Amino acid sequence: MLFHIDPGSPVPLGDQVAAAARAAIASGGFAPGDRLPAARTLADSLGVNVHTVLRGYQRLRDEGLIELRRGRGAVVSRTDSVTGRAALLPHARALVAEARSLGLGENEVLALVRETLADPA
């Protein structure tokens, strides 16, 4: 199985499930249209509560990486950019965390990103 969690980590287990799935999508382990493991099956294999897995899956849904379908489970979104989006999300979070630690506001960070896009040298 592609999912691993560390119960001793300070990172919430649901976030670890989301990160593991995100990494699997980014690496091509799951392609657009693929089904992720059923929440109950994954919870049993990881030794966690099914609601923990569902929290992770809901986070991925909120990020636009998967669709949750009643009766079909969690399916990787069919958008062409889902793999790249999954790969970039951790970097975007790191950028935001670093910007916050430096006291930069949202507009300043967006301006930096726009500058970078305009002149990627």
The domain segmentation of the chain, as residue ranges, is 10-121
User: Is a pLDDT exceeding 90 seen at residue 113?
Assistant: no
Rounded-to-integer distance, Cα 92 and Cα 77, Å: 20
* Per-residue confidence (pLDDT) for residue 18, from 0 to 100: 95
Would you call 106 exposed, middle or buried from its count of C-beta atoms within 10 A (0-12, 13-18, 19+)? exposed
In angstroms, the Cα distances linking 52 to 7, 36, 39, 49, 55 are 12, 15, 9, 5, 5
Instruction: Pick 16 or 79 by higher pLDDT.
Output: 16
User: Is a pLDDT exceeding 90 seen at residue 6?
Assistant: yes
* Per-residue confidence (pLDDT) for residue 19, from 0 to 100: 93
User: Is a pLDDT exceeding 70 seen at residue 80?
Assistant: no
* Per-residue confidence (pLDDT) for residue 121, from 0 to 100: 65
Per CATH, which fold does 10-121 belong to? Arc Repressor Mutant, subunit A (1.10.10)
* DSSP annotation string for 96-111: HHHHHHTT--HHHHHH
